[in-house]
Amino acid sequence: MKLLSRIHALLAAAGSVLQSPLLLVIRLYWGWQFIGTGWGKLHRLDQVAKYFESLNIPAPHLNAIMAASTETLCGLLLMLGLFSRFASLALIGVMCVAYSTAEKEALHAIFSDTDKFLAATPFLFLYAAVLVFAFGPGKLSVDALIGADKKN
């Protein structure tokens, strides 16, 4: 039994060492992806607004600006690890709206056809934002540097 306890302690220590670098990689990669999608929307606002209108999203032009701005700004905050939980929560909101409008079929298939839900475009974006919200930005972040995220 002592051997199992020692192995468990070793694995837990290894996992702890990897937590912050993993969160950094997630923040950098997915923050950059959010910035890219948001920036792309900002540069095609008329097209995005028309698409939003086709999805019956109210005030499509205003919502296109809001979604694009949120993805761009919060993606940058995510990359920096600054106000990470706020930024990830805002991005979770945007991705939930994306699922409930553009990916309705995939959302409704969450339990009946999980592959369809998991293959939908918003899934990995949502997953990354949820990870950062749940675990924080890690020790390799501006939040940790300024003491804003006491958990790290």
CA dihedral 46, 86, 133, 94 (to 10 degrees): -20
Quote the pLDDT of residue 25: 98
99-137 pLDDT tens trace: 999 999 999 999 999 999 999 999 999 999 999 999 999
Quote the pLDDT of residue 1: 78
Q: Is the dihedral of CA 65, 67, 73, 79 positive or negative?
A: negative
129-145 pLDDT tens trace: 999 999 999 999 999 99
Please state whether the predicted TM-score (pTM) of the whole model is above 0.75: yes
Whether the predicted pLDDT of 150 surpasses 80 = no
Q: In whole angstroms, what separates CA 68 from the centre of its chain?
A: 14
Q: Of the candidates 72, 64, 62, 58, which has an alpha carbon nearest to the alpha carbon of residue 45?
A: 64
Q: Domain boundaries in the chain? A: 23-146
